[in-house]
Structure 1
Amino acid sequence: MGSMRPSIRSKSSGPVGQHLANGGNAREELSVFESESFDADSYVQGKCQSMSEKGIRKLCSELTELKRDSAEEMRKSVYANYSAFIQTSREISDLECELVSMRNLLTTQAALVHKLAEVQLPPMISENGGSLPHENGHVDDDSTSASETEARALLDVTDIYIAERKIEKAMDALQRCEALLRPLKSSTSLEQLFMEQRLRLTELLTQFAKQPSIRSAELRSVISALDRLGDGPHAHTLLLYSHHDRLQRAIANLRPSGTSYGGAYTAGLCQLVFSHIAQAARSSTAVFGEQPSYASELVLWARGETENFVALIKKHVLSASAASGGLRAAAECVQIALGHCTLLEGYGLALSPVLTMMVKPSVEQALDANLRRIEDSVSVLAAADDWTLVQPPPRTGLRAASSILFPPHLKLSTSAYRFISMVQDFVDDVTPLTSMHLTSTTLDGVARLFDSFVHLLMRAMPAAIDDEDVPEITDNLSIKVADTDAEKLSLLANAAAMADELLPRTIVKILPLKDREESRMRRSLDKPATGVRSEHREFRRRTQRAVDKLRDRFCQKYALELIYTDEGESLLSADLYLGLDNDGTLLTYSELSQTLFERIKTIAAAGGDVMSGRERFVTVLLIRLVETVVLYLSSDQDFWEDIEDGPRPLGPVGLQQMVLDMKFAVQMAGQVNHSSLRHLRQLVEDLIARAIDAYAATGMDPYSVLPEETWFMGMAQEAIDRLSGGWSKDSASPTASVSANSISSLKSHGSP
């Protein structure tokens, strides 16, 4: 198979791949299998005798993988070329019918020519009144006359049987008459009469087959009689036409329910359509066997009936469901139809691909409408949310048993609970339709819903100064702005809980069974799933990017509040370091560092209450906040212009103070092993290196005035211990009473 070559070449590292990659040598070795004396057991023993058990296992594994890849390629090829196969089958069936008609015509003409050639002329009269002797000699006229007489009598009886509608007796009489006429050589008139009687019987059988009241057993007998008369193609077409006509009359008596649900109508219509298809398949097999021409015609007819069925379902059920977002109704209707198609596979009719291809656009339309409805509902609920975290409400109704269990430590706001509940219902509706390959569409829809919900949360987050990342507002909803630290953290708690726990547990229902088991096992071991498909990994990355976007907005707001005043003036001035003289003053943290530390303590304390059980997320959040402040410092052009090119050079005390502040920032972030902390350390090292270069530009040796690394780290840790113990420049500071335990999570937690 040409389509298998890439997969074979990709496995050329194994013995099977190397053997198949040899080209001509492989073809020569394959000739061994064509020998009549080929012994499979001897061949396997000869090839595997020198191989170890490990090698044999590897060979079996490669053969199994090649078998699986071959089956997958075959399945894809069948689905990709199904329409072409059906079209080719239709053309072959039409061609076979034409060939049969031509054969019958040629047979009739040949028989006519043969009879004309064998006609005996009457004896010629001689001139003296005597008759000439016959050239063929004497013929037994008595025997011929007896056969002709009996044949005429049978034809007369057949005429009577046809008039009396006695089909079986007429068939028997015609068959006996045909046996008598076969040896006769001068029976042209009888042949003509025989053909007329057979034509009359064929027309009578056709009339019987087209009667609306004919029963299935009677129809099968009539079709069998037509086939015995030598008109098989017409009989098979008549069989399918009769079932189609009876089906149309039954459908005409079936009335739609008049509701948008349509489950009863779908079930009734499925029962009618697919039971008639099954009955036609049984009758076709019973009368005609499994002849390819008749089987192809049956497949084409069944496909046409399925297309008519889908047209009715779209008109009376799916169109209303797609417009209103009734995904559950559409899913149940399609599931009922697919179940009936599966039952027909026992008759050799694979109608599921046809049904799936035709109803998939309507199902996707219903899916999109359902997503829009959920998005609108969540927007309205978010407008009424006060961003207070509460315990999960109990789920009631038919879907309560299938809903996921919330962890005991998890708390969300009311709109978040409603959002995840609607997403669960949405996934439950799509789950029965996994055979329609809607996994990617479903994951993309859920990700879009989550992005929309995060945009609502960002609108509730107070805007930072000159914030260009504010989502575009296209509605008139008034979202309550989070004022307190607890309310702002609750916005992050909603997004983080969904992205990390709730949404992955929800979408696992639509994963393939293999990925589902691995995801469940990994989650029980608290490890990330590694074997899932690319679309599932992309879903997790997309939801995490949305959470990171909300978290960055949170950090930017707090960082700008620390750096800028309400009037927009920057507190991060180069004078903090340029105005310091070497007057023997003991180095300590700057006012900006103290303010940052106190802010972190406040957020950590609020996060311990709001995000109970999610301390890792709080740790990463605080690291990101410190990183944001350092990032603003490193990107402040005015600050660095004064440091590097200003009228006052950076002195040794200023350099020491800047290095101490940066080490203080790193020490505040703790010793966790996380990518954000590694990035923070790199930013700090780059900033210190830039300050050292600015000091060296004055002609001084920076390393002669900088103490050892351990000295800075010790000073930073000592400052943190003093601040954690309640020390503050202002004894009335509201942060003075905050316990050191409020920031313990920042220093003690490991990587999330």
Structure 2
Amino acid sequence: MAPKPSPTTPRSKHSRNAVAFREDVRGDGSSGAPSPPDSPMATPVAPTPATKKRGLRTPSRKINALFKRSVRADKGGGVAGHQRASSEGGTLHTSRGMRLGGLAAFEAGTVDLDNDLSGLTEKGIDTLRAELAALDGECAEELRKAVHANYTHFISASQGIIKLEGDTGALRNLLANAATLMVKLKEVAAPPPAPLAATVAEEAAAASSAAGDWEQSPDGLRWADALDEIEVALAERQPLDALHAVRRADKLVPRLSAAPPADIPPPAHIALEARVERQRAEMDARRQRLAALADAALSDALAAGGTDLRASSVAAVRAAAGVLAAAAGGAHAARRLLDAHSARLRRLQQQLLKPQNAGGGDADGVEYAGALAQSVFRALAAAADDTAALSSASAPELSSLLVVWALQETERFALLLKRHALAPFAAPAGLAATVSCCLLALVHCRALEVSHGLTLAPRLMRDLWPACEQVLQRRLRRLVEEVRTAAAEDTKTIAAAMGAGSQSGSQLLPAAQLVLGEIQTCVRILTPLAGPRMAAALRQANTDLFGVYAEALAGAFEGRIDESGALPPALSSAVQPAIEQAAALSEDALPKALAPLHDSCGVLCDAGALQEHLAQLVSRLGPYVV
């Protein structure tokens, strides 16, 4: 029996929205055609204004046509149930574990049941329900298969999870036990709890009351008066008055810090100890202020003396040094005193470097050297006197400080002398000017040694002698050419004398006189600087000069040898007198010239070296002796 035609009604909103779902259910291209009129599944729908243009393409007719084809396929294939043949488009599948192609829209989640399925007929809805039931069975089967396939792994994972949970619980218990143990250890090692706030407040009040009572006591009033005296003296910048006040306060400290009675309560005992420590700290602070005041007074006293170091008040300097020694110790006072003298000396040395003090007429630097030496060694003498005024039980320490400081100032003086006097003026002026500058310094140094026992001359000569030795070497180098020229003239003079039939006698010729005169001049200039260094330099100069003379004399004769290897007859007769002149110079004249320094420097004439030079002269001129 054909289904009853549906009444002619206007097309609803749900039937209009079911078009998308119909396209999914249709599957292949042929399913979109209208159902044949003889289909038992077809349900004619009366045309409505909304469906006149599109014919019979309503949701119910499309679904009925789809189901009609399914029924025909079931009958033709002889397959029971809902088994269907797969169409060309692959939209229909068997119901054994497979899904209907049109149900993919349900799986994709793009189906709106209210809009897409509201226009289906009752049979279409039953068909869809059956398909959904088949899909549910398929899902259950797949789930069963998955569970069966992974059951072993699931059991293993479950056992591992259970074991991991057990290990985690054990570890949590261990950590909890360790934390509890640490808390207990902290509680055991913690200091005892502080006293109650009320107890602390009571003790503080008791200590404050005891401090107030002591301040009003006779000892407290005397202590306050002593501190006031110190403050007044420091404010008025009176080091001596401040020192006396500090000494009076120091006498009060032992009595104030005496041992307390045995029955004194602990809070009072603590307050007493705190008061004693506070008093000592106050005294230390005031001593430091007193030391700073005395240091400033010492510098001011030394700076107020003008160009003369001793024009300042000696009493003020020594008083300030004494206060500083009492406040900070004798060694500290000595260091500060020497530092103040050094600063004063620097100012004087800077003034000496000014052009108006050096003077334009000081061509050889002797005036500057004398002024510098005088200022330095007078400053050393003043510092020695001031340091001696601080002599006490620590006198050896003060003496060592003075000696070290004096050596440092002597080195600085030698450096200034070489830089501003010897190098620019004395060295170019010659050996005499250089020795004069050094001699002025040495005179003042030895005067200080006599007056204060400071032996600084060896250190001074060690620093100054290299400059003198350099000038001496330059002087000897300039003399070499003069000796060679004079030796050549000597050969002519001897030859002329021999040709005239006269004898040269014992009188020295010009070249020998030049060498002898230079040695005598060096002895005269360097005698004030007599010492080991000067003796060694002069001994070497004597040997070198005679060697130059012998070399020049031999060269003068050898330069006159003719092509036959013989000297001219006039010169041949002059060889023997020339050798005799050299022998007389080395054996008699030079030792006599160096004799004045024999007592202070020893033997300065190296006879062995002179004889060696003489032997070389004889070996070179001997073949020509006639």
- Compute the TM-score of the two structures, normalised by the length of structure 2: 0.54
Equivalent position SS for 1:410: coil
CA gap of 1:154–1:514, structure 2 versus 1, over 3 A, is closer
Give the aligned CA root-mean-square deviation in angstroms: 3.9
Residue of structure 2 equivalent to 1:366: 471
CA distance in 2: counterparts of 1:446 and 1:314, whole angstroms: 26
Residue of structure 2 equivalent to 1:30: none
Q: Do the aligned partners of 1:461 and 1:482 also contact (CA within 8 Å) in 2?
A: no
Q: Do the aligned partners of 1:412 and 1:493 also contact (CA within 8 Å) in 2?
A: no
Equivalent position SS for 2:292: helix
Q: CA deviation at 1:512?
A: 3.3
CA distance in 2: counterparts of 1:322 and 1:481, whole angstroms: 48
Q: CA deviation at 1:544?
A: 2.6
- 1:419 and 2:524 are equivalent in the alignment: no
Q: Do the aligned partners of 2:579 and 2:618 also contact (CA within 8 Å) in 1?
A: yes
**2:304 aligned to which of 193, 213, 227:** 213
**2:330 aligned to which of 232, 248, 263:** 232
**2:401 aligned to which of 293, 297, 315:** 297
Runs of at least 5 residues in structure 1 that lack an aligned partner in the other structure: 1-120, 391-407, 471-479, 516-532, 559-598, 600-752
CA distance in 2: counterparts of 1:205 and 1:349, whole angstroms: 28
Residue of structure 1 equivalent to 2:223: 151
CA gap of 1:501–1:442, structure 2 versus 1, over 3 A, is same
Any idea what the Cα deviations from partners look like across 1:562-603, whole Å, max 9, x if unmatched? Answer: xxxxxxxxxxxxxxxxxxxxxxxxxxxxxxxxxxxxx6xxxx
Any idea what the Cα deviations from partners look like across 1:218-262, whole Å, max 9, x if unmatched? Answer: 121111101112433321211011000000111111134565632
Residue of structure 2 equivalent to 1:222: 320
Any idea what the Cα deviations from partners look like across 1:55-109, whole Å, max 9, x if unmatched? Answer: xxxxxxxxxxxxxxxxxxxxxxxxxxxxxxxxxxxxxxxxxxxxxxxxxxxxxxx
Farther-moved stretch of structure 1 (313-322 vs 239-248): 313-322
Residue of structure 2 equivalent to 1:684: none
CA gap of 1:151–1:376, structure 2 versus 1, over 3 A, is farther
CA gap of 1:260–1:549, structure 2 versus 1, over 3 A, is farther
- 1:541 and 2:622 are equivalent in the alignment: no
Q: Do the aligned partners of 1:274 and 1:341 also contact (CA within 8 Å) in 2?
A: yes
Farther-moved stretch of structure 1 (352-361 vs 303-312): 352-361
Residue of structure 1 equivalent to 2:383: 280
Aligned positions of 1:592-603 closer than 5 A: none
Equivalent position SS for 1:229: helix
- How many residue pairs get matched? 384
Q: CA deviation at 1:268?
A: 1.4
Letter in 2 for 1:238: R
Residue of structure 1 equivalent to 2:417: 313
Letter in 2 for 1:497: A
Q: Do the aligned partners of 1:454 and 1:546 also contact (CA within 8 Å) in 2?
A: yes
Residue of structure 1 equivalent to 2:432: 328
CA gap of 1:278–1:152, structure 2 versus 1, over 3 A, is same
Residue of structure 2 equivalent to 1:497: 584
CA gap of 1:245–1:513, structure 2 versus 1, over 3 A, is closer
Residue of structure 2 equivalent to 1:455: 551
Farther-moved stretch of structure 1 (227-236 vs 443-452): 227-236
Any idea what the Cα deviations from partners look like across 1:479-537, whole Å, max 9, x if unmatched? Answer: x999345644443343122112211101222323595xxxxxxxxxxxxxxxxx6x74x
Q: CA deviation at 1:210?
A: 2.4
Q: CA deviation at 1:191?
A: 4.1
Any idea what the Cα deviations from partners look like across 1:116-168, whole Å, max 9, x if unmatched? Answer: xxxxx99969xxx9x99x9xxx99x7998213212212322322222222222
Letter in 2 for 1:342: R
**1:353 aligned to which of 458, 461, 479:** 458
CA distance in 2: counterparts of 1:233 and 1:370, whole angstroms: 49
CA distance in 2: counterparts of 1:149 and 1:542, whole angstroms: 91
CA gap of 1:276–1:384, structure 2 versus 1, over 3 A, is same
**2:256 aligned to which of 184, 196, 205:** 184
Residue of structure 2 equivalent to 1:378: 483
Letter in 2 for 1:557: Y
CA gap of 1:506–1:321, structure 2 versus 1, over 3 A, is farther
Any idea what the Cα deviations from partners look like across 1:665-708, whole Å, max 9, x if unmatched? Answer: xxxxxxxxxxxxxxxxxxxxxxxxxxxxxxxxxxxxxxxxxxxx
Residue of structure 1 equivalent to 2:153: none
Residue of structure 1 equivalent to 2:441: 337
- 1:169 and 2:169 are equivalent in the alignment: no
Letter in 2 for 1:458: A
CA distance in 1: counterparts of 2:532 and 2:564, whole angstroms: 44
CA gap of 1:387–1:499, structure 2 versus 1, over 3 A, is farther
Q: Do the aligned partners of 2:445 and 2:457 also contact (CA within 8 Å) in 1?
A: yes
CA gap of 1:167–1:467, structure 2 versus 1, over 3 A, is farther
Q: CA deviation at 1:557?
A: 1.6
Any idea what the Cα deviations from partners look like across 1:350-387, whole Å, max 9, x if unmatched? Answer: 32232222223222212211211222333344455574
Equivalent position SS for 1:210: helix
Residue of structure 2 equivalent to 1:251: 349
Residue of structure 2 equivalent to 1:198: 287
Q: CA deviation at 1:320?
A: 4.4
**2:623 aligned to which of 556, 576, 594:** 556
CA gap of 1:467–1:486, structure 2 versus 1, over 3 A, is closer
Q: CA deviation at 1:302?
A: 1.2
CA gap of 1:122–1:338, structure 2 versus 1, over 3 A, is farther
CA gap of 1:239–1:257, structure 2 versus 1, over 3 A, is same
Letter in 1 for 2:552: L
Q: Do the aligned partners of 1:154 and 1:173 also contact (CA within 8 Å) in 2?
A: yes
Runs of at least 5 residues in structure 2 that lack an aligned partner in the other structure: 1-198, 258-271, 306-311, 496-503
Higher-Rg member (1/2): 2
CA distance in 1: counterparts of 2:230 and 2:202, whole angstroms: 37
Residue of structure 2 equivalent to 1:508: 595
CA distance in 1: counterparts of 2:416 and 2:544, whole angstroms: 32
Q: Do the aligned partners of 1:387 and 1:413 also contact (CA within 8 Å) in 2?
A: no
Q: Do the aligned partners of 1:459 and 1:481 also contact (CA within 8 Å) in 2?
A: no
Identity %: 27
CA distance in 2: counterparts of 1:177 and 1:304, whole angstroms: 40
Aligned positions of 1:308-707 closer than 5 A: 308-320=412-424, 324=428, 326-345=430-449, 347-382=452-487, 387-388=492-493, 410-462=506-558, 483-484=570-571, 487-512=574-599, 536=605, 539-558=606-625
Equivalent position SS for 2:364: coil
